[in-house]
Amino acid sequence: MRATVEHDGRAPTRRPTITVLLCLLMAWSLSIISQGAFAATSSEPRALLEALDTGNFQAKGAAAQAIAESDAEQKTRWLQALLDGRLGKERRGDRFYIVTDDSGREWPIIDAITFEDAGTGTRRTVDIFKINNDLRAQLEGLIASLSLSAGDEASRLSAARRLIGEITEDNVASVRRMRDEEESDAVRQPLDVALALYDVQNGDAEALDTLRGNLDTRVRNTLVPIAAGDSPLAAEAQSVLGGIESKRAWYDRAQTLFFGLSAGSILVLAAIGLAITFGVMGVINMAHGELIMIGAYTTWLIQQALPGQPGLALALAIPGGFLVAGAFGVVIERTVIRFLKGRPLETLLATFGLSLILQQLVRSVFSPLNRRVTSPEWLQGAWQINEALAFTLNRLGVLLFCLAVFAALWALMRFTRLGLEVRAVTQNRAMARAMGVRATRVDMLTFGLGAGVAGLAGVALSQLTNVGPNLGQSYIVDSFLVVVFGGVGNLWGTLVAGMSLGVINQVLQPWVGAVLAKIIVLVGVILFIQKRPQGIFAPKGRTS
């Protein structure tokens, strides 16, 4: 009985001990296995990044290719950071970092594997991986290929366009597969061009048909050496290249016309106010350029009062520039011009002196340094029509603004009492006075109106160039040229003359240069005035 009791007493003690030991052994084994699996998982991204830590660019390119072909979720961001010069390794350690902002001395950095915040780094603590031009082109192609397999249609289209000229033997198979799987015709089209360009480089003559009429610069640059060489594709490539060059020539003419019209719109804005005052009062206002400058400085001042809101500042500057410049014009007319009527040479000298005073006043108040006016986002960049034609938005905006100002001024002259009185005084001042028109009041309002329009020209110029004390001096001679060429006091003549001179000058510049082009235009206008002194549109009636 005792033995039985002792045996029964030991058995319950040994079995739990063995069970516990077995459980601990199993848990330890599972821990080792899981740790090994985690190490294998985490070591793969590290191994991919380790391969980039080499000074051999060819080996670095092979490492980038391995990253693109891997299953790492971070691969696209790694390649983009490498392309941007923001991927690097800890100088005295084994951690890899991505620099999120390299504008300062200390860089905010994140861990390249986990993307967790890693504090800051500097050039002394982080070695950035360097790339050359060949590796840069390879990276752009790899990133574009990866982007084709993910994202919306817009991102795939952007990626497809980046692949043109970047397809290599390493990624051509994957690009062909993605092209076959792509459902969007818009995305397939640049992919077809990219593949055709690769095939042409490898001697495929049939691929040239896909490139006919394509305006992409990369296509043209690829075909030029082929057409100039002695390969079997040279003749066909030369034919395709000739068609592309002919098509681009027409778009180049359209581009030149646009630049000419935009330059002409500036001349119209600068001259249209002068045309009114010169036509009504016969005053040669040499301070007209300074009124343009005042409108530009008004724009800058309003933008300084509204920092960070360039769109609102520009919207307020349009009436502000008109009113401020117009007020200066009224003051000039009341204090100087009214006492010199009928004496054009004396008004010329007096207004020339006023121009010097206004320039010095601006230098004293704002300093002689140029000021920069920030354009709103909707006036930055370009409207890309195709690969050969793009309209810069700021110049397009100025052109539309010029037409809007012209339409408003024409409506004012055509449908308001002030416009009727201005036309009456322009045609016959004595008869207008006899009919009860207050000519002195009309002179004051007309001069203020012309000065206000000059202020609007300054608002427009502030979106194209810097604002400075000498801003208006560049346009005063051209403004008088436009007024005389178009017909004194005629709005339509000013519009036609300004646009014509802008286009002619823009056409001549590539051939003879900017200075000689202006000389030729000036000589041409002088010869024209010799044959037709009244200008393109002859004024009606008399100004005296």
- Would you list the DSSP string of 68-128? HHS--TTHHHHHHHHHTT-EEEETTSS-EEEES--SSSSEEEEETTT--EEEEE-TTTEEE
The C-alpha angle with vertex 493 and arms to 451 and 396, in degrees rounded to 5, equals: 70
Same domain, 138 and 87: no
**Of 76, 109, 128, the domain-final residue:** 128
CB 357 within 8 A of CB 342: no
Is 262 strand, coil or helix?
helix
What does DSSP assign to residue 210? G
Give residue 300's pLDDT: 93
What is the arithmetic mean of pLDDT over 210-230?
Answer: 86
Average pLDDT, the chain: 82
**Of 128, 158, 177, the domain-final residue:** 128
The pLDDT tens digits of the residues spanning 504-538 come to: 988 888 888 878 888 888 888 888 888 887 778 76
Number of domains in the chain: 3
Can you give the residue range of the structural domain that contains 453?
A: 253-373+393-531
CA atoms within 13 A on the CB side of 39: 6
Same domain, 296 and 406: yes
Give residue 150's pLDDT: 64
| Domain annotation covers residue 463 | yes
State which amino acid sits at residue 378: W
**Of 232, 267, 285, the domain-final residue:** 232
The pLDDT tens digits of the residues spanning 365-406 come to: 988 888 999 889 888 888 888 888 889 999 999 999 999 999
The C-alpha angle with vertex 425 and arms to 422 and 427, in degrees rounded to 5, equals: 105
Is 172 strand, coil or helix?
helix
The pLDDT tens digits of the residues spanning 449-489 come to: 989 999 999 999 999 888 999 888 888 888 888 888 888 76
Same domain, 188 and 336: no
| Domain annotation covers residue 146 | yes
Model confidence at 322: pLDDT above 90: yes
Question: By C-alpha distance, which of 276, 269, 536 is closest to 426?
Answer: 276
Question: By C-alpha distance, which of 395, 362, 514 is closest to 465?
Answer: 395
DSSP 424-480: HHHH-HHHHHHTT--HHHHHHHHHHHHHHHHHHHHHHHTTTS-B-TTTGGGTHHHHH
Q: Retrieve residue 25's tokens.
A: 């052994």
* DSSP 3-state percent helix, strand, coil across the chain (nearest 5): 70, 5, 25
Distance of alpha carbon 57 from alpha carbon 55, whole angstroms:
6
Same domain, 419 and 458: yes
